[in-house]
Amino acid sequence: MYIILGVAIGLAIIIAIMYNGLINRKNQVENAFGGMDAQLKKRYDLIPNLISTVQTYMKHEADTLTQITELRAKAVSGNISDEEKVNLDNMITSKLGGIMVAVENYPDLKASENFNQLQRTLNEVEEQISASRRAYNATVTSYNNGVEMFPANILAGMMKMEHKNVFEIPETQRENVNVGDLFNQ
Amino acid sequence: MSNTKNLESLYNSELKPRLSELNNQRADIVNKIKRFALYSIIPIIISIFISIQIQLPIPTIIIIGLSVLISFFKINPLWKEYYKQFKEQVIREIIRFIDDDLSYSPSEKMNQSKFEKCGIFRTGIDRYRGDDYVQGKINSTDIEFSEIHAEYKTRTVDSKGRSRTHWHTIFKGLLFSADFNKDFNTTTYVLTDTAEKMFGFLGTKLQKMNKGRGDLVQLENPEFESEFAVYSGDQIESRYILSPSLIERILSFKKQTKKGIQLSFVDSRLFLTVPYSKDLFEPKLFGDIVNFNHIEEYHNDLSLVIDLIETLNLNTRIWTKE
C-alpha cells in the first residue's frame, strides 16, 4: 500500500517538474519573441528619419522609399499576426538593403554627417535585430527539445504544445552584412 | 605589420650588437657565481669538520649562511642591472618594432582592480604581482596588457603546532584589455567549458543551474559551444557582442594560441586572459642569449596579443560607438 502511494507521489512530482519545465520553455520563446519585436520597433522608429534624409538626394529610388514607408505603416499599425510581422520585417530588410547599396551612387549623401550617423545607428539596430533573432532561435530549439524528447513529449502532446519553426535568416539578411563592408572601404 | 624577414633584419642590425654586449654581462654573472661557489667550498668543509668534532651543526649553518649572503649581495646588483638593460634594450625594441605607438613600462602591471573587474577569476587574491606593462592605441582601439601572477594563500598547522603558508596560483599569464567596438551594459563571460567536455549533456544542465554569472547563453556554433561556456545577464546583448563572425574569430584565436583563453566583456571593454606557465619576456641567465630563435619567441608572444585587434576585428567601427 505504502509502495503504491510512494510511486504515485513520485510520479506526481516528476509530472509537475516536466510540466513546469515545458511551461518555462514556452514562456521563454514568448519572451524572446517580445525581445525581437522590441528591436524591430527600434528600426521602425528609425525609418522616417532615414527616409527624410535620403529622399532629397535619391530621385531614382523614390518608389522604393514610398514602399518602405507603406510597409512600415502596416507593421506599426498593430493587429497583425506574428507571421505577418515576420514577413513584413523580411520585406523591409530587403528594401532597406537595396537603399543602402544604392547610396553608393550618391557621393553627396554618403559624405553627409547626418546620413553617416543614421547609417551607424541602422547598422547597430540591424546587429541587435540579428542578435535577438539568434536568441529567439536558441529558445525555440530549447522549446522543441522539450516538446519532442521522451518522456516530456507525452505530456507536451496532452498540453497541445507543438513544434515551432526557428527563424530562418533570409538571403537578404546576409547581404546586409555586406553593407557594413561597403561602408568600410 | 611585422614579419619574420623584417624581424631578422632588425635582429642583425640592432639587436645582435646589444645582445652580444648583454651576453658578456650575463657570462660575467655566471662566472662570479661559479667563483663564489668555489671560494665557499673550503670554509664549508672546514666548518663541517668542526661541527662533527663539537657535535653541533651551528658552525656549518653560519658558514653556509654567510657565503650565500655574500654571494647574494655581490651578484644581485649585477643581475638587476643585466635584467633592466635587457628589458630596455631588447624587449622595448621588439615592442617598438611591432607598433611604434605603444608605450612600455617593464616594472609596471595592470591594476589589481582591473583584474578583479574582468571577473574571469573570482577567488579572493592575497598576492598580486606582475610586470611588462604595454599600453597604447592601435587606430581607434586602445589596448593595454601585462604579465600577471595572482595567488591566494592557505595555512596549514602540522602535528607539532607549526603553521605553514602555502601559495596557490589563481592565474599566471597575460591579462589583456581593449576598448570594444560596440557599447553594452551587461557583463558577458566566455569561459573555458569544463563541465560540458566532461559530462556532455549533463554538464550543460549543471551549467544552467550555475547562476553566479548570469544565465547560460547557448550559441549556435557547436564547435564554440564545446570549447566555451558563455554566461550573461542579457541573452540578446550577449549575442549582439558575440556576433557569428566574432565567434569564429575567437575560435581561431584559441586554435592559434593552443591555450585556455578566457574572455569577458565588461563596461564596453573586452578582457582576455592567456595562461602561461613560463615567465614571459625574461632574460636567460644560463646559456648564450645571442640567438635569433629567442628573439622570435619574445616577438611571437608579444605580437600574439597586439595583433588581437586585427584578429578580432576591433577596429571596425560601423556601429554607434566611435
Q: What is the pLDDT along chain B (322 residues), one digit of tens a residue?
A: 446 778 999 999 989 999 999 999 999 999 998 988 888 888 888 888 888 888 888 888 888 888 889 888 888 999 999 999 999 999 999 999 999 899 999 999 999 999 999 999 999 999 999 999 999 998 889 999 999 999 999 999 888 888 899 999 999 999 999 999 999 999 999 999 877 767 777 777 777 777 778 899 988 888 898 899 999 999 999 999 998 889 989 999 999 889 999 999 999 999 999 999 999 999 998 888 999 999 999 999 999 888 888 888 888 888 878 7
Nearest neighbour of A123 by CB, restricted to B218, B236, B318: B318
* B301, B159 Cβ separation under 8 angstroms: no
Q: Are B242 and B220 in contact (CB under 8 A)?
A: no
Q: How far is A124 from chain B (nearest CA, A)?
A: 5
Spell out the domains of chain A, with CATH numbers in brackets.
30-184 (1.20.1440.20)
Predicted pLDDT of residue B139? 85
Band of residue A177 on the pLDDT scale cut at 50, 70, 90: very low
Banded model confidence at residue A183, pLDDT cuts 50, 70, 90: very low
Pairs from B81-84 (Cβ < 8 Å, separation ≥ 24): B81/B25, B82/B22, B82/B25, B82/B26, B82/B29, B82/B283, B83/B282, B83/B283
Mean pLDDT of A42-52: 88
Write the CB contacts of A10 (distance below 8 Å, at least 6 apart in sequence).
none
pLDDT at B71: 83
The more confident residue out of B132 and A76 is B132
Residue B68 and residue B36: Cα distance in Å, rounded? 9
For residue B36, the model assigns a pLDDT of 86
Q: Within an 8 Å CB–CB cutoff, is residue A132 touching chain B?
A: yes
Peptide bond into B59 cis (omega under 30): no
Q: Provide residues of B within 8 Å CB-CB of chain A.
A: 182, 217-220, 235-240, 243, 316, 318-320
The answer to whether B104 and B95 have CB atoms below 8 angstroms apart is yes
Measured CA to CA in angstroms, residue B269 lies from A88, B92, B185, B189, B236 at distances of 36, 26, 10, 12, 18
Pairwise CA distance, residues B171 & B263, whole Å? 13
CA distance A79 to A88: 13
Q: Which helix (H) or strand (E) holds B171?
A: strand B163-179
Nearest of B257, B254, B113 to residue B193 by alpha carbon: B254
Paired with B190 in beta bridges are B230, B263
DSSP SS3 for B234: coil
CA quadruple A9, A142, B239, B310: dihedral positive or negative?
positive
- Run of H or E residues at B104: strand B103-105
Q: What integer pLDDT is reported at residue B205 of this predicted model?
A: 75
Q: How confident is the prediction for chain A on average, in pLDDT?
A: 84
CA-based nearest residue in chain B for residue A177: B245
Which pLDDT score, from 0 to 100, does residue A80 have?
84
Type of residue found at B224 = F
> Which pLDDT score is estimated for B70?
86
Interchain pair B217, A134: CB under 8 A: no
Q: What is the pLDDT of residues A87-102, one digit of tens each?
A: 888 888 888 888 888 8
Nearest chain A Cα distance for residue B142, angstroms: 20
The verdict on ipTM greater than 0.95 is: no
pLDDT at A1 over 80: yes
- Residue from the list B182, B218, B240 with its beta carbon closest to the beta carbon of A138: B218
Encode pLDDT of A112-165 as tens digits: 888 888 888 888 888 888 888 888 888 999 899 989 988 888 888 888 888 888
Q: Are the C-beta atoms of A92 and A46 separated by less than 8 Å?
A: no
Dihedral angle of Cα A11, A14, A16, A21, to the nearest 10 degrees = -160
What span, in angstroms and rounded, lies between the C-alpha atoms of B102 and B306?
Answer: 10
- C-alpha grid cell, residue A86: 515576420
Counting beta carbons within 10 angstroms of the beta carbon of residue B295, is it exposed (0 to 12), middle (13 to 18) or buried (19 or more)? buried
**The predicted structure's pLDDT at residue A180:** 43
- pLDDT for residue B221: 86
At residue B271, the 3 state secondary structure works out as: strand
Q: What angle do CA B261, B267, B273 make, to 5 degrees?
A: 15
Enumerate the residues of chain B whose CB falls inside 8 A of the CB of residue A131.
Answer: 236-240, 243
Rounded CA-CA distance B142/B136 in Å is 6
Residues B65 and A44: their CA atoms lie apart, in Å, by: 79
Residue A16, pLDDT > 60, answer yes
pLDDT at site B187: 95
pLDDT, residue B56, reads 83
The order of strands in the sheet holding B141-157 is: B103-105, B127-138, B141-157, B163-179, B269-275, B262-266, B188-192, B228-232, B215-217
- B264 strand-pairing partners: B189, B271
Task: Tell me which H or E stretch contains B154.
Answer: strand B141-157
Amino acid letter, A41 = K
At B86 the pLDDT is 95
Residue B1 is predicted with a pLDDT of 46
